[in-house]
Structures are given as structure tokens and as C-alpha cells.
């Protein structure tokens, strides 16, 4: 996750502001049933949290959102719980 964040931020180096939109579809289908397009072999909740925390540490980041959570598909509330864990990690980093 560190290399991915570093490469993305290097690519965006000339931008004045960076808006981070984390799409939960990138998470592994075993933990992301509450989204429209679950992905096999996607990233884990821990990897997602690490990536998001690393990205928002950049001073150019002006906004952060988590997208594609669909409560009607999240029968076991697992997607909401995983997403909330990621959000807690990001907020803790900001505070």
C-alpha cells in the first residue's frame, strides 16, 4: 500500500488540491458484499485503511470520501462495519 500511495501522490505532484474518493468495490469480495461490484482478490480492510491513511497525510488532500457502499446489499452489515473501520482510521489520522 505504501508504494501505491507513493506512486499515486508522485503522479499527482503538480496538482494544487487532491480529492480522495475510496471506492469499496476495490475490496475483496469476501468482505465487500454490500457493494454493486465486488472484486475477487481485492484488498483487505486493513490494506484499504493503510492506503487511505497514507494518502490523506499529504498536505494537498482537501477532501476524502468513501463511495459505493450499498446498504440494501449489505445483508450482514459487514460492508458498513469494514467501511466504518477505515473511516475511523482516517479520522484518527486527521485529529
Higher-pLDDT residue of 3, 30 = 3
Decide if pLDDT at 95 tops 80.
no
Cell of 36: 454493486
- Collapse the DSSP code of 43 into the 3-class scheme (helix H, G, I; strand E, B; otherwise coil) and give the result: strand
Residue 10 CA to chain centroid, in angstroms?
18
Instruction: Kindly report the length of the chain.
Output: 95
Per-residue pLDDT of 20-34, as tens digits, reads 999 999 999 888 888
pTM for this structure?
0.91
pLDDT, one tens digit per residue, over 33-88 is 888 888 889 999 999 999 999 999 999 999 999 999 999 998 889 999 999 999 99
Residue with C-alpha cell 465486488?
38
- Cα distance between residue 5 and residue 11, in whole Å: 10
Q: What total number of domains does the chain contain?
A: 1
* Structural domain range at position 44: 2-94
Amino acid at each position: 500500500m505504501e508504494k501505491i500511495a507513493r506512486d499515486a501522490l508522485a503522479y499527482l505532484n503538480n496538482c494544487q488540491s487532491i480529492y480522495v474518493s475510496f471506492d469499496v468495490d476495490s475490496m475483496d469480495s469476501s468482505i465487500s458484499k454490500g457493494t454493486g461490484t465486488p472484486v475477487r482478490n481485492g484488498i483487505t480492510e486493513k490494506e484499504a485503511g493503510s492506503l487511505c491513511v497514507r494518502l490523506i497525510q499529504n498536505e494537498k488532500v482537501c477532501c476524502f470520501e468513501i463511495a459505493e457502499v450499498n446498504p440494501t446489499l449489505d445483508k450482514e452489515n459487514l460492508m458498513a462495519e469494514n467501511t466504518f473501520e477505515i473511516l475511523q482510521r482516517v479520522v484518527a489520522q486527521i485529529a
